[in-house]
Amino acid sequence: MLLSQHSPESAQRVRHHMRVGWHGLLIFGALGTLLEILHAWKNPAYLGVGNEMRRLMWTLAHAHGLGLSLLQIGYAATLAVMFSQLSPRLVRASRLLDASTLLIPLGFFLGGAVPYKSDPGIGVILVPIGALLFLAATFFTAASLPAADSGPSPTPTPSAPDSSRPS
């Protein structure tokens, strides 16, 4: 389905999730590159004894950020292919996905910024909150999908060439 066949709100949501996803890939890809540089330089703040929790939390922030960014792009594609109009449930799922994409990596990053010996910092409390929001977004999206046996959604077919016209 072409984006021009969507309602303005639906088309705007598709573009929003594409932007969030691609910007997230850039940000979390850059974070991963920074972590690789810290590792290559054997930076003691990252690799030193006693900083295992920081290394783990920041690696989890990078990995979850990349994964959620890819999910944003997948959500945009799902909206574009499966829905021409947005239900309130899909709008709710969209907002919950945005919140979880922010909270989960941020929680891991903050948890590693100021760890307490072998425990992550207090910022890690954002992770389970973000995870619950992610699960709710997934539930609302899955519940909005048409049944598998309902057949394809109607799409306009190109008109056949008029055989009565001379070429």
**Max Cα separation, the chain?**
83
| Prediction pTM value | 0.84
Does a structural domain hold residue 156?
A: no
Does a structural domain hold residue 12?
A: yes
Domain that holds residue 95: 3-145
Domain count, the chain: 1
Does a structural domain hold residue 151?
A: no
On whether the CB atoms of residues 158 and 4 are closer than 8 A, the answer is no
On whether the CB atoms of residues 21 and 72 are closer than 8 A, the answer is yes
The 10s digit of each residue's pLDDT in 46-80 is: 998 889 999 999 999 999 999 999 999 999 999 99
Q: Measured between alpha carbons, how far is 48 from 42 in angstroms, rounded to an integer?
A: 8
Question: What is residue 148's predicted lDDT score, i.e. its pLDDT?
Answer: 76
- pLDDT band at residue 144, thresholds of 50, 70 and 90? very high
Does a structural domain hold residue 31?
A: yes
The 10s digit of each residue's pLDDT in 85-124 is: 899 999 999 999 999 999 999 999 999 999 988 899 999 9
Does a structural domain hold residue 95?
A: yes
Does a structural domain hold residue 30?
A: yes
State the average pLDDT for the chain: 89
Higher pLDDT, 147 or 82: 82
| For range 20-36, the mean pLDDT | 98
Does a structural domain hold residue 164?
A: no
Does a structural domain hold residue 162?
A: no
Question: What is residue 118's predicted lDDT score, i.e. its pLDDT?
Answer: 86
